[in-house]
Structure 1
Amino acid sequence: MDYQMARRPAGGTLKEKEFTFFWHGKSAEDRSEHGVGFAVRNTLLSMVEPGDKGSERLMTLRLYTSEGPVTLVSAYAPTLTSTAEAKDEFYINISNIVKNIAPKEQVIILGDFNARVGADHDFWPSCLGHFGIGKINDNGQRLLEFCSYNSLCVTNSFQTKPQHRVSWCHPRSKHWHQLDLILIRRSNIKLVQITRTYHSADCDTNHSLVCCKIRLQPKKLHKSKQKGKPRMNTTGMHLPEKVEEFAKSLQKALSVEHQHCSAAEKWNHLRDTIQKTALATFGKKASKNNDWFDAKFSEMSPVIDAKRAALAEYKRSPSEKTLQALRAVRSKVQQTARRCANEYWQQLSDSIQFAAVSGNIRGMYEGIKTALGPTQSKTAPLKTTSGEVITDKGKQMDRWVEHYSELYSRENTVAPSALDAIEPLAIMEELDAEPTIAELCKAIDSLASGKAPGNDGIPPDLIKCCKNTLLQPLHVVLCQCWKEGAVPQDMRDAKIVTLYKNKGERSDYIEGQEQRRGTLRENNEGHMKGSLLTQENSRRRTTSSEEFLDSHRRRSWRPDKD
């Protein structure tokens, strides 16, 4: 879906329940009077790729289909009263976009062109069909010249009913015109099934909805991103009956012993068993609804249906009676919407206040997140160390790899004289003993609740609430790692999340993480391993420096990471 006059500042994306919105407008400092964007169904997100550049009048989106890529262009042309310079600039920019598209690729231009193209098929046979409407004006002349030069045609001028060819009514003359047009290459006109206007669709604007049905088969854009594991429902992990059910199911699943397996094989088996058993017992985490409209849908639906019926009746037979009926039902919709919104926000505010007073910090922050709604994911090109802008996504990823490689892979060298200056201490052989269950229990208790899981998909709440059940199998795996002198790679892996610190320009890339800071999200087992190392390191105060370094090398530990 394409929409104009979005009036959203700058550019960004917003993901809702069923659709994801992409938009581009003027900067926040300028007046919000122009804007373009797309609304993409979430099921098609893997098949589209937004354009790197855009303006408040033009924006591109690439759709991958079985017949090849299709470039969609959202356009908002200057009005008839705009200056000639503004009109020339618009058509120069849109012509450059079309020129950069391969001739064999399909292109679809949708938007409010503020132009009347008329019905002169004989003079514009390659651009217009036999079912145009009205007379041509200056903006229409510019648009048809653009279509003729780029082998495009106006799909609105092909076979359809007269009432379905117009989308805007002049406020003074009450004459209907077609200003919202859909352009396509002349060679691909056979793919268009119908282009028509839906006057009954309530879009809260003086323009009616224009839809075009085209025969296209979307093709999924395969990426190297791994499929994420389902999130577990942590709310039931504090219920004793659920914990007991999980314990019985896990003991039954782990009844078969693996005697001659490595630590990695044992951990993989234990991890998969915990995931499968926990999902079967506690279920998946349900998505939360952050919209007041959906929460009050039962009250809003009847008045909205009445408004749509009144709008359809007014467009079918415009008169003073139907106009007054439409105004009355619109007023009722506004009153109902304000009342429902006030009730929703009042209830949400009361729940946040009650959570804060009762000391439920987690519930308070969850309420604040619900109030703030979904975050806007704004994108900006990175810059190299020399200040050059990187727009290619592959090169952007290489730049991130370069940055974090320099940040986390620095080698620390210690002079031999500094090592010799360390006073040698007595060797304590008892420190080579395997970690005890008590130490592992202390490490589990130190895990923070409510944190996001790592690559293993196991939340810390599950390990803490079901500690008595998971203590023994986890201890067996960690003891096996202790004997082998290495831990599975899955425990050592971590996710790097880049956080923008709201300092300076988003596109600036400053070394030393002045504007973007990387946060490591480790697996919970990695946290427990680090806690065990900390406990051992606290007892390692009387060990000689040579034995200390040698012990860390044998167990694949890095002294600077303890």
Structure 2
Amino acid sequence: MIVDSPLWPRVPVATRWQQSSRGAKNPPDVWLPSPQVKEDAAAKKKENEPISVSSRTLTRTNVSNRKSIKRQFVTNKRQSVTNEPIVTKTTVEEPGKRSSSNLNIATWNVRTLRKEGNWEIPLEEARSFNLDILGLSETYLTESDTMISKEDFTALLGCRKDGIGREGVGLLISQSLLSCLVSFESVSPRIITAKFRTKEGILNIIHVYAPTSTHSDAESDQFYDVLQHHLQKVNKRERLILMGDFNAKIGTDQNTWCPAMGRFGLGKINERGEKLLEFCMLNKLTVCNTHFQHKDCRKVTWTSPCGKYKNMIDFIITQQENLTTFKNCRSYCSADVGSDHNLVLATVLSAPVKVKRLKTTPKSYDVSRLHNSLIAEEFRAKIGGAFEPLLHLEDTDVETLWEKFKNTTNIVTEETGGFQRKKLVKGLPEEVRKMCHLRRKARVEMLNNPTAANKNNYKTFNKKVKYEVRQWKRKLRENDVSEMEQAYSMNNSHDLFKKVRKLAGEKTTTQAVAKDNQGILRTAPDEVMKCWEDHFNKHLNTEFPRDDDILKTIPEPVNRNTTSLPFTLEEVEEAVKKLKNNKSCGCDRISAEVLKEGGPLMNQMLLKVINKAWSDREIPEDWSRGLVTPVYKKGASLILPITEPLLFCPSLEKYSAGYCLLESKIL
């Protein structure tokens, strides 16, 4: 028999040295891959002669079957040595579609997010690629908050504390994955970490921005020391994804650096690349970009301004044993945010844990429409027609009477005014979107053919995109100013100051997350509710010492025959007029504007409820309930002890008239 060269290269020396250092005295058989067998003319005649291949007995039926079995056997041996999946043909899924069992995780150096409109374009690209997690490098932000809301994404930021707009990293997390967030830490302007709860276990995401070649080796060593410190905090049973802009070129020498890299590298290695690969070898990591066969244009992550130099310096790195969970990893030059870096996207086999959502706060009605005289007349006619038969009903208990009043009022208010609609500017307008599409096409042409004409064409479209974004923002500001003038002319101070606060600075929405007493971040709705319950039980439901002598000094109320003094309709109307507008309604969703526009029949029904509560010495359950909302202080949106709670009680807001009357009757 003729022995040919093996199908795959022999295992590198570094791998044999690692295995021998674990205590193996003799080299195992898996170090040497099995040779490919070729038959001579004499061997072809022995068709039924059994042969032994690694303790397996096979029947020599035909050459093609034997070769396929042998090739599969050698492939399995090679995979057991290097833990490297054999990629023969990569299945590239559409970036905008994915199954529910996959996570789209990407990294991108956006160069800056401080300029006008630079948040909206990355968000639009994240939606088009259906990303779950997007790591951002070189954000140049100086935000004091580490967690802010951006439309349908949540941003975790790591910025400088001295106010200088340099470096900066961040993680954009989709709202569907936010409930799976376990914890996060903004280590420095170059490192940010986050933990997510998935069906396969805890997934650790570490996003970095390494020092460039212009920085000294001491800064680079300090960066890797901090990264190593936080890498050691990760449990060995948990999965890890390390990604970002490492500013390092790792080349194509897979034989020397196996299994830290695969067979599909790019370019030549440099000193920073050697440091990165040594770091991967030390922590048993591997670069996912090099394990999937793609064109060179899909490996490039950075292109020089002249278009002459193209390198792979943005990486997605994972543990060697978790490499099989990656379906694909490549760069997309079609994603454009005005940066010289490409988007690097990986599809990972992982499904987020589904969390049961709690009941949300009831929607508020659009009572501003009641300022229109025609709509107000229609509302009074409908509410009067609905309350007229209820006034002649036989007396029932106060709870039933209140439920009829509340349900009838809510139904008529919904039919007349509808619900409030938040004016959210989500996504880019059509003009900006078209210009971004043209800039994207010009960028692809420039990368494929970096001529002077294509470069100038891309620069022209880049300027046009920035101009369209400025015009779009200018129109939004002009609309806000016109609404402010209209509110001022109508003496509507509520809407006026609301617009003033919006123009003074963008108000970030705080997420429904909290830290418990041990400092552990809680993101699931039921866990957050438990944190607030424990917080209020600790600070409010406590026994305070009291002085009985002071209680004796309080005079006793004057005894009066209160049963013979029922409330009158004039007293209820006077109390309703004193209610303030633009106040938050409680759990009954009945605002002061609705009570004022209800008319005489609504006041008669309210009088009937109050007199029934007075005669039965019992109030409805809704009158003793309230909605609690947290008022976060700047920079401390996750710490409960320094958070102010506000209590919205419908019994104190809308039925304060009835309580004032009760107090006047008693005293």
What TM-score do the two structures reach when normalised by structure 1? 0.80
C-alpha distance 103-246 of structure 1, shift in aligned 2 (>3 A): farther
Preserved CA contact (<8 Å) 1:12 1:377: no
Q: CA deviation at 1:540?
A: 5.3
Preserved CA contact (<8 Å) 2:146 2:186: no
Preserved CA contact (<8 Å) 2:158 2:186: no
Structure 1 CA distance for aligned equivalents of residues 221 and 536 of structure 2: 40
| Aligned partner (choices 438, 444, 464) of residue 306 of structure 1 | 438
2:33 corresponds to which residue?
none
Question: Which deviates more, 261-270 or 109-118?
Answer: 261-270
C-alpha distance 455-123 of structure 1, shift in aligned 2 (>3 A): farther
Preserved CA contact (<8 Å) 1:15 1:374: no
Question: Which deviates more, 195-204 or 396-405?
Answer: 396-405
**Aligned residue-pair number:** 522
Preserved CA contact (<8 Å) 1:76 1:113: yes
C-alpha distance 311-31 of structure 1, shift in aligned 2 (>3 A): same
Q: CA deviation at 1:194?
A: 1.4
- Report whether the alignment pairs 1:364 with 2:496: yes
1:444 corresponds to which residue?
576
- Report whether the alignment pairs 1:162 with 2:296: yes
1:402 corresponds to which residue?
538
1:549 corresponds to which residue?
none
Which residues in structure 2 correspond to 1:31-430 (within 5 Å)? Answer: 31-158=164-291, 159-171=293-305, 174-222=308-356, 225-239=358-372, 242-243=375-376, 244=378, 248=382, 262-268=397-403, 270-289=405-424, 294=428, 297-372=429-504, 374-376=506-508, 390=519, 397=532, 398-399=534-535, 401-405=537-541, 413-415=547-549, 418-419=552-553, 422=555, 427-430=559-562
Q: CA deviation at 1:13?
A: 2.7
Q: CA deviation at 1:458?
A: 3.1
Structure 1 CA distance for aligned equivalents of residues 563 and 394 of structure 2: 26
Structure 2 CA distance for aligned equivalents of residues 539 and 483 of structure 1: 13
Q: CA deviation at 1:87?
A: 2.8
C-alpha distance 99-426 of structure 1, shift in aligned 2 (>3 A): closer
What TM-score do the two structures reach when normalised by structure 2? 0.69
Preserved CA contact (<8 Å) 2:203 2:238: yes
Structure 1 CA distance for aligned equivalents of residues 616 and 545 of structure 2: 25
Structure 2 CA distance for aligned equivalents of residues 265 and 108 of structure 1: 58
C-alpha distance 258-141 of structure 1, shift in aligned 2 (>3 A): farther
Structure 2 CA distance for aligned equivalents of residues 307 and 205 of structure 1: 12
Q: CA deviation at 1:165?
A: 0.6
Preserved CA contact (<8 Å) 1:4 1:36: yes
C-alpha distance 519-173 of structure 1, shift in aligned 2 (>3 A): closer
C-alpha distance 495-85 of structure 1, shift in aligned 2 (>3 A): farther
Preserved CA contact (<8 Å) 2:562 2:666: no
Preserved CA contact (<8 Å) 1:118 1:133: yes
Structure 2 CA distance for aligned equivalents of residues 538 and 19 of structure 1: 52
Structure 1 CA distance for aligned equivalents of residues 474 and 207 of structure 2: 35
Task: Give the fraction of aligned pairs with identical amino acids, expressed as a percent.
Answer: 21
Preserved CA contact (<8 Å) 1:63 1:69: yes
Q: CA deviation at 1:135?
A: 2.2
Preserved CA contact (<8 Å) 1:25 1:36: yes
C-alpha distance 261-35 of structure 1, shift in aligned 2 (>3 A): farther
Secondary structure at the residue paired with 1:207? coil
Structure 2 CA distance for aligned equivalents of residues 268 and 179 of structure 1: 65
C-alpha distance 65-469 of structure 1, shift in aligned 2 (>3 A): farther
Cα deviations across residues 42-61 of structure 1 (Å, max 9, x unaligned)? 34333334415532222223
Structure 1 CA distance for aligned equivalents of residues 584 and 305 of structure 2: 55
Preserved CA contact (<8 Å) 1:250 1:273: no
- Report whether the alignment pairs 1:519 with 2:646: yes
Q: Which amino acid aligns with 2:648?
A: R
Structure 2 CA distance for aligned equivalents of residues 88 and 62 of structure 1: 25
Q: CA deviation at 1:285?
A: 1.6
1:6 corresponds to which residue?
139
C-alpha distance 392-302 of structure 1, shift in aligned 2 (>3 A): closer
Secondary structure at the residue paired with 1:134? strand
Q: Which amino acid aligns with 1:452?
A: S
Q: Which amino acid aligns with 1:453?
A: C
Preserved CA contact (<8 Å) 2:328 2:346: yes
Secondary structure at the residue paired with 1:371? helix
| Aligned partner (choices 657, 660, 664) of residue 534 of structure 1 | 660
C-alpha distance 469-287 of structure 1, shift in aligned 2 (>3 A): farther
Q: Which has the larger radius of gyration?
A: 2
Structure 1 CA distance for aligned equivalents of residues 256 and 564 of structure 2: 92
Structure 2 CA distance for aligned equivalents of residues 510 and 431 of structure 1: 47
Q: CA deviation at 1:116?
A: 1.6
Structure 1 CA distance for aligned equivalents of residues 322 and 515 of structure 2: 37
Structure 1 CA distance for aligned equivalents of residues 482 and 163 of structure 2: 37
Secondary structure at the residue paired with 2:269? coil
Question: Which deviates more, 260-269 or 326-335?
Answer: 260-269
Structure 2 CA distance for aligned equivalents of residues 43 and 529 of structure 1: 40
User: 5+ unaligned residues in a row in structure 2: which ranges?
Assistant: 1-133
Q: CA deviation at 1:131?
A: 0.6
Preserved CA contact (<8 Å) 1:307 1:326: yes
Structure 1 CA distance for aligned equivalents of residues 237 and 295 of structure 2: 32
Structure 1 CA distance for aligned equivalents of residues 423 and 629 of structure 2: 23
Preserved CA contact (<8 Å) 1:12 1:378: no
C-alpha distance 18-391 of structure 1, shift in aligned 2 (>3 A): closer
Question: Which deviates more, 209-218 or 311-320?
Answer: 209-218
Q: CA deviation at 1:130?
A: 1.3
Q: CA deviation at 1:382?
A: 8.3
| Aligned partner (choices 12, 18, 23) of residue 152 of structure 2 | 18
Preserved CA contact (<8 Å) 2:185 2:194: no
Cα deviations across residues 53-73 of structure 1 (Å, max 9, x unaligned)? 532222223333333332222
Question: Which deviates more, 165-174 or 370-379?
Answer: 370-379
Preserved CA contact (<8 Å) 1:16 1:374: no
Q: CA deviation at 1:418?
A: 4.5
Preserved CA contact (<8 Å) 1:5 1:36: yes
Q: Which has the higher contact order (CA 8 A, sep 6+)?
A: 2
User: 5+ unaligned residues in a row in structure 1: which ranges?
Assistant: 542-562
Structure 2 CA distance for aligned equivalents of residues 276 and 530 of structure 1: 23
